Amino acid sequence: MEFLTVASLHLFAVASPGPDFALVIRQCFRYGKRSAIWTSLGISVGILFHVSLSLIGLGLLITYQPSIFNGLKILASLYILYLGVVSIFNKSILDLDKKKKSSTTLYFRSFLSGLITNTLNPKAFLFFITVFTLVISPSTSQILQGIYGLYMSLATFLWFAMISIIFTNKSMTYKYVDFLPWIERIMGFILVIISIQILFY
């Protein structure tokens, strides 16, 4: 029963539009499927970071330290604002007619973008603190809590990987190729709005 509660809350959280979702969509239109999947992996590793902080009690400590928590909010807001501005003003580099060679640097940067966006997100801090202090019983072993964390990380990766595949479907992208730069700009504006929301949350 406890696992179902955790899984349901996580499903609602991961499916809700937020910085992670906006970032993955932005990566789809800017760099393509593989980059978006690497970003998804970065986000899922970020969740393991939040879970680890919650398990050792540091997450709760951070939320009660206004200076640290506000610092994280500012960093998250600035980073997401940067991604949004780049999407709005830079020309899309996604090339639908040519297969781009694998770029280790690009994939690493994509992974890093997902990791940074998730780990700095103050809403993610609050979500995992809520789950691990109010939802999960204190009598639940740390091993089982860790398994819950692994499940949430894996489920997050699968969700965003699925989103990456759907939004980079060739038939869809070729059909709307003329609109892709504008879609990317819209996602950029959404990221800017999210960055402002985080700052004043």
Query: If you average pLDDT over residues 114-141, what whole number do you get?
Result: 84
pLDDT of residue 49: 92
153, pLDDT greater than 80:
yes
pLDDT of residue 164: 93
Residue 7 lies in a domain: no
- Mean pLDDT taken over the chain: 82
pLDDT tens digit sequence for 30-56: 888 999 999 999 999 999 999 888 888
Residue 1 lies in a domain: no
pLDDT of residue 11: 86
pLDDT of residue 118: 92
SS (H, E, C) 119-148: HHCHHHHHHHHHHHHHHCCCCCCHHHHHHH
Residue 9 lies in a domain: no
Residue 3 lies in a domain: no
Residue 107 lies in a domain: yes
Q: How confident is the model at residue 180 (pLDDT cuts 50, 70, 90)?
A: low
Residue 8 lies in a domain: no
Residue 63 lies in a domain: yes
List the domain range (segments joined by +) for residue 80: 22-199
Indicate the SS3 state at residue 64. coil
Q: Report pTM.
A: 0.81
Give 179's DSSP letter: G
Residue 12 lies in a domain: no
pLDDT tens digit sequence for 79-116: 888 888 887 887 655 554 444 545 888 899 999 999 99
pLDDT of residue 32: 86
Domain count, the chain: 1
What percent of the chain stands above pLDDT 90?
A: 25
